[in-house]
Structures are given as structure tokens and as C-alpha cells.
Amino acid sequence: ILQLVLAGLHACLSLITIFGGAGTAALIKAICFTAIALFGSLGIALVNYNYPDILVEGRQKRYFNILYLINFVLVAYLLGMTITDLRLYWPLFAFDFSFGQALMIFGGLITRTIIFVLQFVLLLGMFRLRRIIYHNYQRSLQELTTGGGQL
């Protein structure tokens, strides 16, 4: 949920920047953070509607696979943004800022780093969730065919 909120915030900020006259970089950021937020919301939907044993199939499976691949590629983009921000802000680490000033200056770097770390966690978690749902579905199907339970 934290990643969903942070990615949504960055997507909104990028959209505001686009309307302020920024170029293509802001549009790319808006699209990327929107894809990250959509992937997070898809993860919540999978847990709510498909867990423990409702198979992901059809349009939902295709939507999941597309978003998974896009978000997998976005890990490299997030890493590039984090490294660029780190290089940009590195000289500022020598100054002595108050907590509020440091939060204002380094807030973007902190949130993008959190999103980067959470992106790895979410990708791994979604992969494991799909496997768990598939195995639970197979187990319940096996029990149904052997007469040992209800689906």
C-alpha cells in the first residue's frame, strides 16, 4: 500500500509538471509511476479476489503479465533515477541541515529509493502469489477429482 501511495504521489507530481510546461521526461515519469501504482493495485486485487485458490486467467492473466513485464523493466529506470538523484544530492550531504530542511531537500530521493526497494519486494511477492494461487488451485482440483473435498 505504501508503494501504491508513493507511486501515485509521484505520478500526480509528474502530471502537474507536465501541465507546467515540462517536456517528455515528465511524461515518461508520469507513465512509469502510473504503471507502478497500477501494479500495486493489481496485487491488492489478486489477494482480495483470487487468493487462496481462484486461478488467474483470461484478461486478468494477460493484464497481470503485461504489467509484470513493464514493472520488471521499470526497475532499471528506478535504479537510474535513484543513482542520478544520489549524484545530484551528494555534495549536499556535507551540509548540516535540520530535519525539516533535509526532508524537503532529500524527500524525492528518499521516496524514489523506497519505491525502488518496494518494487523488488512487490515483483517477488507477486511471483510467489501467482505460484501459491496456482498450487492451491491444483490441490483443490485434485481433491475434487479424488472426491476428497469441495471446490
At 6-60, the pLDDT tens digits run 999 999 999 898 888 778 888 999 999 999 999 999 999 988 988 887 888 899 9
Q: Residue 18 in contact with residue 30, Cβ under 8 Å?
A: yes
Q: Is the pLDDT of residue 83 over 90?
A: yes
| DSSP assigned state of 92 | G
First to last CA, the chain: 31
pLDDT for the residue 148: 58
* Separation of alpha carbons 139 and 114, rounded Å: 37
Sign of CA dihedral 131, 136, 139, 141: negative
Peptide bond into 91 cis (omega under 30): no
Cα separations in angstroms, 19 against 13, 27, 28, 35, 76? 10, 10, 14, 20, 26
The CA-based diameter of the chain, rounded to the nearest angstrom, is 70
pLDDT for the residue 144: 84
Q: Which of 38, 18, 37 has the alpha carbon at shortest distance from 28? A: 18
Q: Which pTM value belongs to this model?
A: 0.82
Q: Which of 31, 42, 30, 46 has the alpha carbon at shortest distance from 4? A: 42
Using N-to-C axis directions, what is the helix angle for 24-49 and 59-89, rounded to 10°?
A: 130
